[in-house]
Amino acid sequence: MIAQSFLKVPASTANLGPGFDSIGLALNRYLTLEITPAEEWCFEHLSPLLKALPTDQNHLIYQIAKKTADQYGKTLPELKIRMESEIPLARGLGSSAAAIAAGIEIADKYCGLSLSNKEKLQIGTKIEGHPDNIGASIYGGLVIGVLVDGKTEIVPIKDVDLDIVVLIPSYELKTEDARNVLPDSFERKQAVAASAISNTLIAALLSKQYSLAGTMMERDLLHEPYRIPLIKDFGKIRKVAKENGAFGTAISGAGPTVISFTEKGMGQRLANILQKSFPSLQVEFLKIDEQGIQWEEASSLQKMGLSEK
């Protein structure tokens, strides 16, 4: 039996505007877990933002770990999980995908499954319904992917040179609620334009034409037009960000967090300006996480915010 272990999972932002359900980017805010063999499954939440979560087998992480173990005909051992998180729940920063990635990873390690990243992604994408957040949490960096005919494909990209600023409101917006406002179908003209905009966004990101990428980021036709009314001050934030050097601003995932991309080295400046302009929002300067989900050494416990008991 594996003794104690430590797991660190990055947050993520999805869509980047027009890459609906397809593009994800890992961010340097983390869910961290201390996992110890125990008499029975239980969870201890160290961060106030996790306090409302269940502490027993109703916990999402247990359910995903169990489902993954069952899928491979293995018995999941009893574990105690102490957890801390910098990823606010239901804000569009991939908290559920990080938890799902953690559940799959725990089953992989403690049931000796030896799954590849592609296999973990396939399991996670089937649960999430799209590979954007889960792909970013597993691989790190930028990911572009698709779930089609039950199969997930993903392309991880590592060299995106951008600073990121997020504006996090105090209210939650459940992904399910933000998906319920979307239309069931689109006219051909709109679908063709949306696809062209998304293709151009990707080409611009890959060729480091960040100004063009920012312009495309603000032209989504698939979800933002329907979700913007759910997000207070979205138009004002986009305008102030643009006036102060942002390449582009979009809804992060399903919202309500708003995300701006700016030139490397300019993130803190933009964050300071946006914080002054929107004092009711929590404005943070973030960077891209390039590692994805990682098992950590015990010596990094303090760094992870977990301390031994």
Ligand X SMILES: N[C@@H](CCO)C(=O)O
Ligand Y SMILES: Nc1ncnc2c1ncn2[C@@H]1O[C@H](COP(=O)(O)OP(=O)(O)OP(=O)(O)O)[C@@H](O)[C@H]1O
Taking CB under 6 A as the rule, does residue 32 contact ligand Y? no
Task: Give 86's contacts (C-beta < 8 A, 6+ positions apart).
Answer: 11, 29, 30, 31, 47
Selected from 32, 96, 137, 260, the binder of ligand Y by CB under 6 A is 96
Pick from 32, 85, 122, 262: which binds ligand Y (CB under 6 A)? 85
| Phi-psi map region of 36: left, alpha, beta (phi>0 left; psi -120 to 50 alpha) | beta
Site for ligand X in 68-87 (CB under 6 A): none
Between CA 62 and CA 107, with CA 73 as vertex, the angle to 5 degrees is 35
**Measured from the CB atom, is 62 or 278 closer to ligand Y?**
62
Q: Which of residues 97-136 bind ligand Y (CB under 6 A)?
A: 97, 99, 133
Q: DSSP string of 197-252?
A: HHHHHHHHHHTT-HHHHHHHHT---SSHHHHGGGSTTHHHHHHHHHHTT-SEEEE-
Site string for ligand X, 131-160 (x = CB under 6 A): -xx---------------------------
Q: Which residue do the tokens 């089609």 mark?
A: 148
Cβ pair 147, 118 in contact under 8 A: no
Indicate the residue among 68 and 125 with the shorter CB distance to ligand X.
125
Three-state SS at 277: helix
Handedness of CA 212, 215, 219, 220 (dihedral sign): positive
- 197 interface partner picked from ligand Y, ligand X, none, CB below 5 to 8 A per type: none
Q: By CB under 6 A, tell whether 61 contacts ligand X.
A: no
Given the complex with ligand X, which of 18 and 253 has the nearer CB atom?
253
Contact with ligand Y (CB under 6 A) among 7, 27, 61, 136: 61
Binder of ligand X out of 5, 9, 12, 15 (CB under 6 A) = 15
Question: CB nearest ligand Y: which residue?
Answer: 253
* DSSP states of 64-102: HHHHHHHHTT-PPPPEEEEEEESS-TTSSS-HHHHHHHH
Of 104, 159, 144, the C-alpha closest to 126 is: 104
Is residue 52 a known part of a binding site?
Answer: no
Residue 175 within binding range of ligand X, rule CB under 6 A: yes
Q: Which is nearer to ligand Y, 97 or 121 (CB)?
A: 97
**Subset of 237-266 contacting ligand Y (CB under 6 A):** 253-254
Q: Which two tokens stand for residue 161?
A: 């040179």
Q: Decide if residue 179 touches ligand X (CB under 6 A).
A: yes
31 counts as binding ligand Y under rule CB under 6 A: yes
Of these partners, ligand Y, ligand X, none, which one is at the site of residue 122 (CB under 5 to 8 Å by kind)?
A: none
Per CB under 6 A, does 163 bind ligand X?
no
For ligand Y, the closer CB: 93 or 213: 93
Can you tell me the distance from the alpha carbon of 309 to that of 303, in angstroms, rounded to the nearest whole number? Answer: 15
Question: Per CB under 6 A, does 91 bind ligand X?
Answer: no
Annotated binding site for ATP: 88-98
Residues that bind ligand Y (CB under 6 A): 14, 31, 53, 59-61, 85, 89-97, 99, 133, 174-175, 253-254
